[in-house]
Amino acid sequence: MKYKIVCDVHTHTVASGHAYGTIREMAKAASEKGLELLGISEHGPGIQGTCAPVYFWNLKVVPKVLYGVEIFHGCELNVLNDGTISLADNYTYFLDYGIVGIHLNCYDNVGAEKNTDNLIECMKHPKVNFISHPDSDDTPVNYERLVKAAKKYDVALEVNNSSLVEYYRRINCHENYRTMLKLCMEHGTNIFVSSDAHDPSDVGRFDLALKMLEEVGFDENLIVNTSKEKFKEFINRKNIKFQKKK
């Protein structure tokens, strides 16, 4: 494989309500796979059975390194139909980073243009660094607008390995990723590759996503999770920009 991903930053533990590993089991798996950094990103409010917001407040008790792997804490926030995210700022405050995604559990598909407007609105939030799985025709987006806005607001778009797995296979996702990745190269927009693991056995699984990147000859420089340093620099620079504005 041409690309090497050493940070898996979109993963879920038992706290998400429909995932099956503990933080330690996920970290152990990450260590065995040779990852340098594991980001745990439980679902935000809106997904049935996920943790209460108070979960994010107490993440400070979790060791920063487990099994030799650095541990970061994010949240996979939901975009709501009014273009806001599903977690209040007194809780996003405790996150290292934020991922926003459309989930039909708490979102009504309103068509490509309006879906795109709602995601762009979320990108303006200082804690939103990533957009998860913008890849399915059941919640279509306008890729040209999404990719340009991601560049403008310093947000990276995901290539989600789970979306490409046979038993999950999201609608038209191969074709959608091809479109998105070509536009990302054209506009210099960052992406990240993740497993979206809901079980330790999937931590660090990137095979299908990387195949996709090879297929389109994607520019490695635009991938933000090929090293720990690059990942940290990427999430920090939006934080710094925001602090300067205040």
Residues that bind Zn ion (CB under 5 A): 76, 101, 132, 196
Contact yes or no for 12/198 (Cβ under 8 A): yes
Nearer CB in complex with Zn ion: 2/92: 92
Nearer to Zn ion, 161 or 189 (CB): 161
Q: How far apart are CA 30 and CA 11, in angstroms?
A: 11
Smallest separation, CB 202 to Zn ion (Å): 11
Q: How far is the CB of 42 from Zn ion (least distance, A)?
A: 9
What is the nearest approach in angstroms of Zn ion to the Cβ of residue 99?
A: 8
Q: In the complex with Zn ion, which residue's Cβ is closer, 6 or 131?
A: 131
Output 153 or 168, the one with its CB closest to Zn ion.
Answer: 168
CB of 188 to Zn ion, least distance (A): 26
Nearer to Zn ion, 205 or 243 (CB): 205
10: burial class by Cβ within 10 Å (0-12, 13-18, 19+)? buried
CB of 103 to Zn ion, least distance (A): 6
> 137: which strand partners?
none
DSSP single-letter state for residue 142 = -
Please give the Cα distance from 110 to 120 (Å, whole number).
14
In DSSP notation, 163-222 reads GGSTTT--TTHHHHHHHHHHHHHHHT--EEEE--BSSGGGTT--HHHHHHHHHHT--GGG
Bridge partner residues of 156 (DSSP)? 130
